[in-house]
Amino acid sequence: MKQTLLPALSMLFSGQLLAQLPYSTSAPLAVHMQEVNAQWPVMDPDPTGGATLARYTDEADRIATHLHLVVERLRTRMPEGLAVPQMANRMHLLDRLTNYADAGRFPQNHVVAQRNPIFIDPHGTACAVGWLMIESGHRSLAESISAEMNLGYLHAIAADARFVEPVSVWAQEHGFTADELAWIQPGYPLAVPTFPIGGGTNGTVTVMHPLQDGSLFLAGEFTQAGTTGAQRVARWDGGQYHALGSGPDGEPSSAAEHGGMLYVGGSFQGQTSDLAVWNGNSWSYHNVSPGMAPRVNALHVHNGDLYAACLSQGFAGTDHSVRRLVNGSWNAVGDPFNDTVMVMATHQGDLVAAGAFTQAVSTTDPLTMHVARFDGDGWLELANGLDATVRSLLDMDGTLYAAGDLYRDGSPVFGMARLIGNAPDWEEMMPGKTAYILMNTGAERINALAPLLGGIAFGGSFFIDDGNIIGNYGANLGWMSFTPDDFRVGAWHNDEVQTMTNHQDLLHYGGAFTSITGANELVPYAAYTTYITGAVGQDVDKTPAKAWPLPARDLLHVDLGTADHSVSFWRCHDAAGRQVDLQGTRLENRITFQITDLSPGAYLLLLQQDKLTRTVRFVKD
């Protein structure tokens, strides 16, 4: 009796993968195999009797193990009624599939934030089933599936009206059933990995600030950055961390460069100072706010002047104010507010302050609901205000983005909004948030924003679910396009993201997290991802440039596509975020890079073509 290729409806979407198990975790073999392919519980629930624990050196090793185990079983499990030619085709392709597994070159997922099939990736690497079709002389079928359903699970592909007949005919000719092909088809994790910055730190990172010398300033609760002893602050130069003297004596909360000095806001010297200043050799301490237990929450350079958002205690209560540095003195800017000022920005030429406040303390002032602009005389509500605490501001090309609390008292609040130019009203960027930002404690919030090519990265304390049948989940990090509710799930961080920035055209971020479920390694407190941030107003080609061979050993060839887009420069980063030298030779629309001297590992290459940034991710053997 022949087995049909078309699946039952109950199996149509059985490719969901809800778990995220890092390949390096010691776990039962059956659990690792189910992580690669959700068909294992259906086809072979207990492949080793439950006794074998496994862990892998990398994701390719785990996928290869899956393929080898499936091949072993398919050699002994023959569909009924196979004719001799079908049997011969089947055994030949199983032999070829063994070779494919041994080669360890599998598709890269640049699209879906969680594990998902990729039929043929942008580099031309086919998945196991696509490769079998190509090996058997049916490249056109594989490429047509890739063009129409590149992210599809096999059962869904086989049920699609466009592919029911050609896939069924191919499968039967080569002696496979639909369930067997679905069992072969792996899912691939997102190939936009996150790495620790220089090995990370040993404590929470609350501040990241790019410096004018091209390095990155980090501050927080750590005493070590990478292998460098660094008390609460460190400078990452792209290759290693450097301590800044003995570090400030206290709790840093913010940073800014002004007049050749590095200013760090916070609470210092037993809550007697709120500003630490690094002159390149030593630290000095100052007071922005004149009261008791002063603290600077934010620093911002506006029109060439340095501003601080601060608070202090007095006989009348807590003073929440913005102050400006003038000739060595800190002068009040407008009236104080009735609650905390957390962030500042510049928008349409005005200084903007935002936070938990709802009004300036003067009885004649109108409401300033969580966000206000200074008009030269006093604080005015910016547009129509926002309905909850604002924790981050980001101005991009004249559009101001604000982010903060997602829920208050069990009800959804703005989360993220934008103000285009001088518009009278804020536009919500997450009007449908209750469908994908899930309320757990009611304290979900966005702490930080950073520009991303094609959108915005946001980090904080939240659980995010894209709601589709594949089950893409994440925690504390996400990406939003410039269209409301158009978002992508970030990785699953085990704790809060507190700060992020665009540094060297890559997204860097820090917080209380120490690991990412499914990531290559631990990312203690400070991380970067190979998602491209780039310059504001820059465009990105969402299709990576084609490169070969992958992996590469001595030469890497990159096809630029249209030859009339000249490459003005390129930059290459290794897996630790360090910039590495890479020499290339241009010939028409191709660049050949000499990579012999690179250490084995993963790299990210950025190519600048006019205002277009192209990306190449490659592995050096």
CA–CA distance, 35 with 53 (Å, rounded to integer): 14
Q: Which phi and psi angles does 217 have, rounded to 5°?
A: -95, 130
pLDDT in tens, 40-85: 999 998 877 556 888 888 788 999 999 999 999 999 999 999 999 9
Kindly report, residue by residue over 464-503, the tens digit of the pLDDT: 876 643 445 678 998 888 889 988 777 788 899 999 998 8
Nearest in space to 388 (alpha carbons), one of 433, 332, 436: 433
At 134, the pLDDT band (50, 70, 90 cuts) reads very high
Beta strands in 533-589 (DSSP E): 539-540, 546-548, 555-559, 567-574, 579-580, 583-587
Question: Where residue 15 falls among pLDDT bands split at 50, 70, 90?
Answer: very low
Give backbone dihedrals phi and psi of 159, rounded to 5 degrees, phi first.
-90, -10
pLDDT band at residue 231 under the 50/70/90 scheme = very high
Distances 213 to 136, 217, 445, 606 between C-alpha atoms, Å: 56, 11, 33, 21
Q: Decide which of 610 and 441 is more confident.
A: 441
The answer to whether the beta carbons of residues 606 and 618 sit under 8 Å apart is no
With cut-offs at 50, 70 and 90, classify the pLDDT of residue 612: low
Determine which of 210-219, 470-479, 594-603 has the lowest per-residue pLDDT on average: 470-479
Long-range contact set of residues 94-103: C-beta below 8 Å, sequence gap at least 24: 96/132, 96/135, 97/67, 97/71, 97/128, 97/131, 97/132, 97/184, 98/67, 98/68, 98/71, 100/67, 100/128, 100/131, 101/63, 101/64, 101/67, 101/68, 101/71, 101/128, 102/64
The residue type found at 148 is: E
User: Bigger pLDDT: 122 or 202?
Assistant: 202
184 class by beta-carbon count within 10 Å (0-12 exposed, 13-18 middle, 19+ buried): buried
Helix (H, G, I), strand (E, B), or coil: what is residue 446? strand
Q: What is the pLDDT of residues 141-180, one digit of tens each?
A: 999 999 899 888 999 999 999 999 999 999 999 999 999 9
The token pair at 467 is: 């709601």
Please tell me the predicted confidence (pLDDT) of residue 16: 29
Residues 468, 520: contact at Cβ < 8 Å?
no
The DSSP secondary-structure symbol of 213 reads T
What pLDDT, on the 0 to 100 scale, is given for residue 542?
Answer: 41
Max Cα distance, the chain (Å): 94
pLDDT band at 17 (very low <50, low <70, confident <90, very high): very low
Phi-psi region of 199 (alpha: psi -120 to 50; beta: other; left: phi over 0): left
**Least confidently predicted of 30-39, 120-129, 245-254, 357-366:** 357-366
Tell me the CATH architecture of domain 541-620: Sandwich (2.60)
Give the percent of the chain with pLDDT over 90.
Answer: 61
Question: How confident is the model over 169-192, as a mean pLDDT?
Answer: 91
Please name the helix (run of DSSP H) or strand (run of DSSP E) that holds residue 95, with its range, or none. helix 84-103
Domains in the chain: boundaries: 9-184, 541-620
Whether residue 453 has pLDDT greater than 70: no
Rounded to whole angstroms, the Cα distance separating 181 from 183 reads 5
Per residue in 397-415, pLDDT tens?
A: 899 999 999 999 989 999 9
Q: Taking all residues of the chain, what is their mean pLDDT, rounded to a whole number?
A: 86
Q: 465: part of which helix (H) or strand (E)?
A: strand 455-465
Contact 287, 265 (CB under 8 A): no
